[in-house]
Amino acid sequence: MTSDYPSPVECWTNERVEQEMDLVQSVVKGLRSLSKLGGDYIPPEILAPETMPFSYKWMLSVLNKAIAKAVASLNTYEFSDATRAVYSWWQQLCDDFIKAIKPYFVDEETFVSERSAAQYVLWVCLENGLRLLHPFMPFITEEPWQRLPSPEGVERKKSIMISDYPSTVEVTFGLTKTLAIKRSSYSCYNNSLQVQIEVCWTNEMVEQEMDLVQSVVQGLRSLRSVVLTKQKNEWQ
């Protein structure tokens, strides 16, 4: 029987230590974005990805895939694969999405609808992302998770430790006695019957388009670096 868990020697290699430090730095960077929610922010009950801007759809799609990969890896005891899936998603959240929504928070008079949607997607990402990360970093996920606001009319569980692990959002339609959008870490007081429709967050077309955008940006940055290096050499 082989084990996916690294050997003691592998645990202490410089490369692995650097990877763990990069993950911690990404998480800390992501948690700083809590300030964008504001002290009086209350998440709405319904999330409609189909009406959101391109980058928001992409972030939810990447989150959905990260959840699927982490759950599948944990179920098969592939702990390294689960860690990589969570680490990669946190990097994308911090390096791409949070940077993409920064312009919407510069001026409170403009981009009102975009900022509102950005706050909601950010809240969804942090709430799911912390629960996703908790088995790997339990001591740094509890406190920021407690600081996250709760949707109106729902009660937060006492601790992230007893909250359900995130699950993917797929297309569903039916009658429910809970909120219109399921949040496994919350329980609802209102038992009134209502129609529930959830749209799958995974969007392959959006992800392909974002891959193209990222490739173009990376190419332009590389070209800029080459041009600057050439100019510097000519001046010398």
Give which of 119, 150, 152, 127 is closest to 52, Cα–Cα: 119
- Portion of the chain with pLDDT greater than 70, in percent: 76
Q: What is the mean pLDDT of residues 152-156?
A: 78
pLDDT at 101 over 60: yes
| Helices and strands per DSSP (H, E), number in the chain | 8, 4
Identify the pLDDT of residue 14. Answer: 67
Is the distance from CB of 49 to CB of 60 less than 8 angstroms? Answer: yes
pTM of the model: 0.74
Average pLDDT, the chain: 76
Q: Which residue has the higher pLDDT, 29 or 105?
A: 105
CA gap 118, 95 in Å, rounded: 15
- Mean local confidence (pLDDT), 150-164: 85
Pick the CATH number of 8-225 from 3.40.50.720, 1.10.730.10, 1.25.40.850, 2.40.160.10: 1.10.730.10
CA dihedral 55, 58, 59, 64 (to 10 degrees): 160
pLDDT at 236 over 80: no
What is the rounded average pLDDT of the residues 203-215? 79
Higher-confidence residue of 138 and 27: namely 138
Q: What is the pLDDT of residues 12-42, one digit of tens each?
A: 566 666 666 777 777 777 777 777 777 788 8
* Mean pLDDT, residues 62-71 taken together: 93
